Structure 1
């Protein structure tokens, strides 16, 4: 069953997030994921959403998502993401 990692980001130090983003694709392509959404200008239809960007990644299963998230390569670049953006990150299961 597919799983999705959904990140909602609010930039705090854009230059650090941009450095993370510049390295992200090279790391991500080593794993079995698919980048579905990376929208820095989402439209809010209802409610308040004090964030700047939404990212949605699809993985074939929970193990693949965990492999990406815990990999040394991702952990190395995620330092800049954590320093450059406040994030809410979820793993959700597909139907």
Structure 2
């Protein structure tokens, strides 16, 4: 059963964040991950949207999603992201 990682991001250093964006796609490949949604615009039909960016990742299953998130390659990218933004990650599935 597929699993999804939903990410809300607030960017405070776009230049550094661009470096993160270059590393993430390669980190997904070994785990069968792919982008379903990557970026903007987001239109709130109900409620409020207060973030700079929305990302939705799809994985073959929950285990692969967790393996990706904890992988050495993603942890390197994550350190860059943390210097450029704040984010909320949600795993569903």
Secondary structure at 2:47's aligned position in 1?
A: coil
User: 1:52 offset after TM fit, Å?
Assistant: 1.0
Query: What is the rounded CA distance, in whole Å, between the counterparts of 1:26 and 1:88 in structure 2?
Result: 21
Aligned match of 2:57: 57
Going by fraction, where is helix more abundant, 1 or 2?
2
User: 1:61 offset after TM fit, Å?
Assistant: 1.1
Unaligned runs of 5+ in 2: none
The TM-score, its normalising length taken from structure 2, stands at: 0.91
The TM-score, its normalising length taken from structure 1, stands at: 0.89
Unaligned runs of 5+ in 1: none
1:43 aligns with 2:43: yes
Give the CA RMSD over aligned residues. 1.2
Query: What is the rounded CA distance, in whole Å, between the counterparts of 2:71 and 2:45 in structure 1?
Result: 35
Could you list the structure 1 runs, at least 4 aligned residues long, displaced by more than 2 angstroms after superposition: none
Aligned match of 2:85: 85
Contact 2:42 2:49 in 1 (8 A): no
